[in-house]
């Protein structure tokens, strides 16, 4: 439980907002450092490390992000009223000439609901990263031995009609009442996986 609270507090909106300017400054400093080193001799080991790090960062985040954005666009193109509401919210909150910044996301409840619904219909990983229970347990009449590798079929949970009303419909409105907790506390909605073991000692 302590780990769960710690992770929630570390990754919570309030904590991330307090370090936003620091993160932005550090990214600028890193880019300036790399830019200023253009043309200077490079340590081969350093170059290999930087290239590998950048490749992992880009490849690891690009496919999942671009796929999610493509699914969002596809769903909104099929529901023009959702597209219209999203555009209106952006125009009112951000304006047509300003740039959307990370802290602005919390001022856009409808757009957040749209992405929650996109992630419900099209989870980034249909089978989340496997977990292992810390002790044997019984779930749904099945015995899960300690250390067993457990895969959770998120896609099937999000499409279960006993959990979600009209599960195949794209309806961001279902998340406007505060449902859909990204932290993994809601066992009916966890498109990004869970952060802790299923059975704690």
Per-residue pLDDT band for 198 (boundaries 50, 70, 90) equals very low
Do the Cβ atoms of 152 and 128 come closer than 8 Å? yes
Contact 81, 114 (CB under 8 A): no
**Digit-coded pLDDT (tens) for 87-144:** 999 999 998 888 888 888 889 999 989 988 998 898 887 887 777 888 898 888 889 8
With pLDDT > 90 as the criterion, what percentage of the chain qualifies?
Answer: 19
| β-bridge mates for residue 139, sequence order | 142
Distance CA 156, CA 166 (A): 14
Chain-centre distance for alpha carbon 173: 19
In the structure encoding, which two tokens stand for residue 180, read together?
């859909």
User: Each residue of 27-45: pLDDT tens digit?
Assistant: 788 778 877 877 777 665 6
pLDDT tier, 147 (very low <50, low <70, confident <90, very high otherwise): confident
**Residue 8 confidence class, pLDDT cut points 50, 70, 90:** very low
d(CA 107, CA 97): 17
**pLDDT greater than 60 at residue 5:** no
The Cα-based distances of 106 to 1, 16, 23, 112, 113 in angstroms read 27, 12, 18, 8, 11
pLDDT per residue as tens digits for the range 162-182: 888 899 999 999 888 766 555
For residue 136, give the nearest of 90, 79, 59, 198 by alpha carbon: 198
pLDDT (tens digit per residue) in 34-88: 778 777 776 656 666 677 767 766 666 667 778 888 899 999 999 999 999 999 9
Arithmetic mean of pLDDT, 150-168? 87
């Amino acid at each position: 439980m302590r780990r769960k609270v710690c992770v929630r507090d570390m990754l919570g909106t309030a904590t991330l907002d307090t370090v936003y300017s620091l993160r932005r400054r550090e990214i600028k400093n890193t880019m300036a450092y790399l830019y200023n080193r253009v043309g200077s001799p490079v340590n081969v080991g350093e170059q290999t490390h930087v290239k590998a790090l950048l490749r992992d960062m880009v490849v690891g985040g690009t496919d999942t992000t671009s796929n999610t954005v493509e699914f969002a666009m596809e769903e909104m193109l099929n529901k023009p009223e959702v597209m219209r509401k999203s555009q209106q919210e952006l125009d009112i909150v951000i304006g047509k000439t300003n740039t959307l910044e990370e802290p602005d996301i919390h001022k856009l409840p409808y757009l957040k609901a749209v992405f929650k619904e996109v992630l419900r219909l099209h989870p980034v990983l249909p089978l989340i990263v496997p977990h292992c229970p810390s002790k044997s347990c019984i779930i749904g009449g099945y015995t899960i031995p300690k250390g067993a590798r457990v895969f959770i079929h998120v896609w099937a949970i999000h499409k279960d009609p006993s959990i979600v009303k009209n599960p195949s419909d794209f309806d961001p409105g279902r998340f406007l009442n505060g449902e859909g907790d990204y932290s993994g506390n809601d066992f009916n909605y966890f498109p990004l996986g869970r952060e802790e073991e299923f059975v704690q000692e």
